[in-house]
Structure 1
Amino acid sequence: MILRGGTPGTETAHGAWWGHFGGALRAEWTKLRTAGETGGLLLCAVVLTAAVGGGAAKAVKCPDAGCGQDAVKLALTGVTVGQAAIAVFAVLAISGEYGTGTIRTTLMAVPNRLAVLSAKATVLTAVVLVSGAAAVLCSLLLGRHLLPANGFTEAHGYAPLSLGDGPTLRAAVGSVVYLVLIALIGLGVATAVREAATAIGIVLGLLYLFPVVIQVVNDPEWQRHLQQVSPMAAGLAVQATVHLEELPIGPWSGLGVLAGWAAAALLVGGLLLHGRDA
């Protein structure tokens, strides 16, 4: 008998993969939920993001009409700091198992290695979506409260920060997606190199050293090209709500560049996980 939708055994193979994935998903959620450092790192990400964003909103002043500041991006400044905690959290999601040797137990329980990586990515995405949304909302609330006292008022052309405003909503949603993509880069890199300190160094280097290199380059055209491929510079373009024509890359295009980095990291990590011994 020919099975509907493909050759004999296709549905059985798909069912086996989904069975592996479902079991791995439950296991990964349990491991992540019970890991001692998980809650602390996610809380650190929320607190750092909100605190730095609130500090920036309190420090920057706009005394005149048309002062040129991007109030939304200012309130979301903390994402550039909170992402470090998210990256470390993502790296430890798999490198911790390599460090203790429990990855062998994981792969014995779920022989399909790509199902294991997919489950880790899914659980990681879910928890970072929640914590990232909390961090961004807290930042915007602090900005809404603090910015008017520094001259960011309707009289100066600044409406109160609100998710009802299209550009503000795009910046908020984009910032949450940005943090998810940073987490996926961390997961992919850690899967590839397996050692926590090395993986953290690579991810933080991509995020924070890339902009330094850009500043060293003297040619403005090359600077622009490097900003267009830099994970952080391109990804955070999604936060901009004014002067979009001056950006090296558009908001959603920049987030697409970051998604490309995440996809490449996961692809390399997945290939190495599949092809080598645990």
Structure 2
Amino acid sequence: MRNVGRAEWTKLRTDASNGWLLLGAVALTLAIGAAVAMTSRCDAVACGEDATRLSLTGVMVGQVVVAIVAVLMVGNEYSTGMMQTTVAAVPRRLTVLLSKAAVLSAVILVVGAVGVFGSLLIGGMVTPGRGFTEAHGYEAMSLANSTTLRAAVGSVLYLVLIGLLSLGLALIVRSSATAIGIVLGLLFFFPILTQVITDPDWQRLLQQIAPMTAGLSIQTTIGVDRLPIGPWEGLGVVALWATGALTVGGAVLRARDV
């Protein structure tokens, strides 16, 4: 397993495009989070804005880049025929799946942590000047605050789960373009559909099962009781999506001739 993991890491890091994509994920997460923090304002007590969530807005864009890296990890092997070499060298295909998942998770953990904690650092410096002060009912943004820490750790885990979901879908369809289209559809179609449907019960249900809507509830630090699903429960929904995709992807990998 260790040798297979080392091989997967070598394949991932020697593809220059992956490095640029991961760097882009961090840059976009930081830049968008900073831009939103710098343009938001709280001019009155209990203005209703969530400073922590605003600072983490970039995660919504960073997840797209993470999904692309995860898909290409499998899609490139199928498009180049490298997957045949991989399974020939490692006949136990479950080992291949677990190694890819482990390496991908480790890389996204590092990249996600840099983007998320960097965004909170910037937000902590910027938001007090935008009215998010104790006078308006806001504590200083700090990881010593349990809700801020939950939002930070949960956001990193969310990115990892989106990566694993994307990896599983890529194994199922064996096409980078198709897998990316499906992932983006899952992430952004549900929120759009929620805006179209007018029935509040159906809206709430869609928000509870949508990977992005449910998962990003982990970032909420105020008004948690008004969420359609709790922060950790929402992250659990994304975990179920990722587990389902990896389970089916693993079964397809074992059943198909490469």
- TM bucket normalised to smaller: over 0.9
Q: Which runs of 4+ in 1 moved over 2 A?
A: none
Counterpart in 1 of 2:64? 84
Q: Tell me the residue number matched to 2:32.
A: 52
Aligned residue in 2 for 1:193: 173
CA distance in 1, matches of 2:236, 2:79: 33
- Conserved? CA contact 1:23–1:110, under 8 Å: no
Deviations 1:53-96 (A, max 9, x none): 11110111101111111111111111111100000000001110
Q: Give 5+ residue unaligned stretches, structure 2.
A: none
Residue 148, structure 1, aligned to residue 128, structure 2: yes
CA–CA separation in structure 1 for the residues paired with 2:137 and 2:121: 19
Per the TM alignment, residue 208 of structure 1 is displaced from its structure 2 partner at its CA by 1.1
Distance 2:240 2:21 in 1: 25
Q: How does 1:213-232 map to 2 (within 5 A)?
A: 213-232=193-212
Secondary structure of 1:249's aligned partner: coil
1:211 pairs with 2:191 = yes
TM-score with structure 1 setting the length: 0.92
Q: In the alignment, what sits opposite 2:250?
A: 270
Whether the 8 Å contact between 1:114 and 1:270 is mirrored in structure 2 is: yes
Between the aligned partners of 2:29 and 2:140, the Cα distance in structure 1 is 20
Counterpart of 2:97, as a letter, is L
AA at the equivalent of 2:37: A
1:39-188 matches, cutoff 5 A: 39-188=19-168
| Contiguous gaps of at least 5 residues in structure 1 | 1-20
Corresponding residue SS for 1:211: helix
Q: Distance in 1 between matches of 2:45 and 2:112?
A: 32
Kindly state the Cα deviation for residue 23 of structure 1 after the two structures are TM-superposed.
2.4
After superposition, the C-alpha distances for 1:76-130 in whole angstroms (9 at most, x for unaligned) are: 1111111000000000011100010011001111111110010000000000000
Question: What is the CA–CA distance in structure 2 between the aligned matches of 1:98 and 1:145, rounded to whole Å?
Answer: 45
Aligned-pair RMSD on alpha carbons?
0.7
Looking at structure 2, the residues matched to 155 and 102 of structure 1 have their Cα atoms a distance apart, in angstroms, of 60
Shift of 1:22: 2.3
More moved, 42-51 vs 122-131: 42-51
Equivalenced residue count is 258
Does 2:17 correspond to 1:37? yes
Q: Deviations over 1:224-252 (max 9, x none)?
A: 01100000000011101111110000000
For 1:171 and 1:122, the matched residues in 2 are separated by: 23
**Distance of 2:161 and 2:39 partners within structure 1:** 29
Distance 1:259 1:215 in 2: 24
Quick one: distance in 2 between partners of 1:92 and 1:203? 13
- Distance in 1 between residues matched to 2:184 and 2:144, nearest whole Å: 34
